[in-house]
């Protein structure tokens, strides 16, 4: 069964144009917004700043003023329309390429105008997918050729087309590859920061984040949610008698056992040395107790020559009006776990209506004890 572990492969940035937003979606969108708006603003300012300078041919100045205004409007559009709208990024690139091509068509002489192609193409390389970058390069080559061979009278048209096209393409591809590499490194760092190195499960830091998300999801949907805390009994004795290598294998085996019993919407984490937490989404308290009892019974049958016989204690609680948030639910589940251990271990304790109910989960045996 699937589970919410972070032991997964790194996805390519080509699959998702904003893959780095997996780290912080709002930060990625905000960066795109700032860069897009700055690109248009600086382009407009650059054009207006060149108009007062000495120019042997001022016939292009009216057209340059119009393009400067269009660049300013582009900045306003990006700044106001981008939040929450992924398609605005595509409009930004296409609009930028078309304006640079218009500059190529009207500027006399062309001189350094082709360098402006780098602005929208670098934006595309960093924020867009490979397929989108390829489409943008095609648009750049096509409109560059049209601007040179239809409207420009520059005698170096073929040289400009080849030199500008190849140079911009090369820089775009290098930036795209670097962006994908950075994204892959970021994903690996995020995975390492959120993963327990021994079991491959979520660690406590990542669990707290996912636990809050699951509780918010349960409140919005009106579905139940339960938390089961597990602690391997006498685990220190396993390390002392059999060595830490065996102890590590015991932890990995128990993690695998829990993973096999999970459904797709559940969350599993190692939150302490031999302590594990399972968030059961859409599960009532009784079903969560049954889950914990099943884990206990299966664990008792797994002893072999390679690993010693094991048992576990468990504490179970369900989200309710009395425990409406993650800290409160975690607190009462931990209290139930402590009650199970205090009652002799190898038991499931349930927090229900402000008190614990301790039950044995030995195969074929059921015992209930009320505790304050």
**Active-site amino acid positions:** 274
> CA 144, 147, 149, 155: dihedral to nearest 10 degrees?
-90
Which of 328, 55, 350 lies closest to 211, judged by CA? 328
Pairing assessment for the beta strands 347-352 and 368-371 based on DSSP bridges:
unpaired
d(CA 337, CA 332) in angstroms, rounded, equals: 9
Residues in contact with 19: Cβ distance below 8 Å, sequence separation at least 6, in sequence order? 11, 12, 13, 183, 187
Helices of type H across the chain: 25-50, 61-81, 87-106, 118-127, 130-146, 157-194, 204-221, 235-242, 244-261, 285-300, 326-342
- For 54, 110, 163, 372, the CA distances from 335, given in Å and listed in that order, are 80, 76, 71, 11
Task: List Cα–Cα distances, 234 to 33, 292, 296, in angstroms.
Answer: 55, 18, 14
CB 351 within 8 A of CB 333: yes
203 within 8 A of 289, measured Cβ to Cβ:
no
């Amino acid at each position: 069964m699937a589970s919410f572990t972070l032991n997964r492969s790194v996805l390519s940035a080509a699959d998702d144009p904003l893959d780095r937003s997996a780290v912080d979606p709002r930060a990625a969108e905000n960066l795109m917004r700032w860069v897009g708006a700055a690109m248009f603003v600086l382009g407009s300012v650059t054009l207006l700043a060149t108009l007062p300078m000495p120019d042997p041919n001022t016939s292009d100045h009216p057209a340059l003023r119009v393009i400067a205004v269009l660049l300013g409007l582009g900045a306003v559009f990006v700044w106001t329309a981008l939040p929450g709208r992924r398609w605005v990024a595509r409009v930004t690139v296409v609009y930028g390429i078309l304006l640079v091509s218009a500059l190529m068509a009207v500027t006399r002489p062309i001189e350094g105008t082709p360098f402006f192609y780098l602005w929208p193409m670098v934006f595309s390389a960093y924020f867009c997918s490979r397929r989108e970058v390829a489409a943008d390069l095609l648009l750049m080559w096509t409109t560059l050729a049209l601007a040179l061979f239809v409207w420009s009278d520059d005698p170096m048209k073929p040289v400009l087309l080849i030199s500008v096209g190849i140079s911009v393409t090369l820089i775009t591809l290098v930036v795209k590859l670097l962006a994908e590499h950075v994204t892959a490194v970021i994903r690996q760092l995020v995975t390492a920061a959120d993963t327990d190195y021994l079991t491959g499960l979520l660690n406590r830091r990542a669990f707290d984040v996912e636990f809050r998300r699951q509780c918010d999801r349960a409140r919005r949907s009106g579905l139940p949610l339960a938390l089961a805390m597990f602690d391997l009994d006498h685990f220190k004795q396993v390390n002392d008698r059999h060595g830490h290598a065996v102890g590590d294998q015991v932890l990995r085996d128990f993690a695998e056992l829990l993973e096999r019993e999970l459904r797709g919407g559940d969350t599993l984490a190692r939150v302490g040395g031999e302590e594990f937490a399972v968030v059961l989404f859409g599960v009532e308290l009784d079903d969560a107790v049954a889950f914990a009892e099943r884990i206990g019974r299966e664990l008792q049958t797994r002893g072999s020559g390679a690993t010693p016989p094991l048992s576990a204690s468990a504490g179970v609680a369900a989200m309710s009006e009395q425990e409406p948030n993650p800290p409160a639910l975690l607190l009462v589940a931990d209290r139930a776990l402590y009650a199970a251990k205090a009652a002799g271990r190898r038991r499931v304790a349930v927090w229900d209506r402000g008190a614990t109910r301790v039950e044995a989960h030995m195969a074929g045996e059921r015992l209930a004890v009320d505790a304050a």
